[in-house]
Structure 1
């Protein structure tokens, strides 16, 4: 159940993050890497498998990006997001956030979860944007590949609003969220009802998405931490819904 006690305003998160970074020794400063899902999809292409786009290879449509050593599950797709000049899905950033990260997001159309794997690992925390207007979702962070090993953190993601006018998209805007943890993470599970949740701007090493980019004008974000080897609470039940992305 969501209560005021677990809703933290951006200002509060920024203050906590700033205090933590100032107090921490420089040797503990996290390396920040952002995956924005841009340049995967050619104009007019609604979806494509991400495949090895971020791992020195190609997406299913032949595009390639910076080799970050990051791979995705087979069901992970790049989704074309609507802009004022292009309508390609029922999802949009609505012009909010980083102006250079408006055209692509992460979605899965089958299964109840998709995984991001980062074999080099990352620490401190990670953050992201998401939209889920009909059904909630969740994320889980592990120290092994494909959800193996110890659970470092998990976070339930409530449904979001649908308030973007002019972008022809029900799944809009995106909401910022993030989670901190101790240890080294090597995979993230993104769970929810297939075709009902979209993610963007996955940021390693920071509990706020894409530091330095234009702030996302959302009223709040939800941050949670669960450290240890307890079982992950992941969404596995598929709910029928006629409102698709």
Structure 2
């Protein structure tokens, strides 16, 4: 029985390694509006009972899914790179993603923010261990843009970074309810999904460039 258990554990480890061998793109489609993402990508569900592909990835309780108000959700954003759902957080200083099997090479995503934010990549779980990479994210929504057809956070910029080592967690930080992320891509410094416009290509790989993301009712 002991040897069988070891073989099972080895098989699970190999499967996890194979899953991260190719870039993985998280679009958050299928997660519930304002639901905690939790184990949506980890063989479980979000707080609303929805489940996605099992990539062995889980998120902290502060990590929430948000659907564009133009698609029936509560999100005050537009021009998101894939369909209608993004990642954001309403409390605390960051949303944390854990990848038990780890990933390497690079990390990338799209973001929209009125205020400065950051992304930190660590070699330990839950934002611990050595810091492998940091991406600083200045506010980018003051440039001229329009929603689809509505949404104040309408400028989603692609950005990415390469690093040495194996990452196991990522903190997505900034001002709570003032920054949103989409098409989070593990294993590549260019985010998957929509092809960025020529004018934004130079931002990829640079630590350059918030989200009152929930649409507030008119007084």
The two structures share one fold, judged by TM-score above 0.5: yes
Find the residue that maps to 1:164 and give its secondary structure: coil
Which ranges in structure 1 are unaligned for 5 or more consecutive residues? 1-28, 226-240
Q: Give the aligned partner of residue 235 of structure 1.
A: none
Matched, 1:102 2:102: no
Structure 2 contact 122–170 (Cα < 8 Å) conserved = yes
TM-score (structure 2 length as normaliser): 0.79
Matched, 1:201 2:201: no
Q: How many residues are treated as equivalent by the alignment?
A: 189
Deviations 1:184-226 (A, max 9, x none): 000001000000000000101111110xx4312262225248x
Out of 23, 27, 34, the residue aligned to residue 32 of structure 1 is 23
Q: Give the aligned partner of residue 71 of structure 1.
A: 58
Deviations 1:218-239 (A, max 9, x none): 62225248xxxxxxxxxxxxxx
Q: Give the aligned partner of residue 92 of structure 1.
A: 78
Structure 1 contact 79–107 (Cα < 8 Å) conserved = yes
CA distance in 2 between partners of 1:242 and 1:105 (Å): 11
Structure 1 contact 30–206 (Cα < 8 Å) conserved = no
Q: Give the aligned partner of residue 160 of structure 1.
A: 140
Which ranges in structure 2 are unaligned for 5 or more consecutive residues? 1-19, 215-219
Q: Give the aligned partner of residue 98 of structure 2.
A: 117
Summarize the Cα distance change of 1:91–1:166 in structure 2 as closer, same or farther, 3 Å threshold. Answer: closer
Cα RMSD after superposing both structures: 2.2
Matched, 1:172 2:159: no
Structure 1 contact 180–224 (Cα < 8 Å) conserved = no
TM-score (structure 1 length as normaliser): 0.71
Q: Give the aligned partner of residue 150 of structure 1.
A: 130
Summarize the Cα distance change of 1:243–1:106 in structure 2 as closer, same or farther, 3 Å threshold. Answer: closer
CA distance in 2 between partners of 1:130 and 1:165 (Å): 15
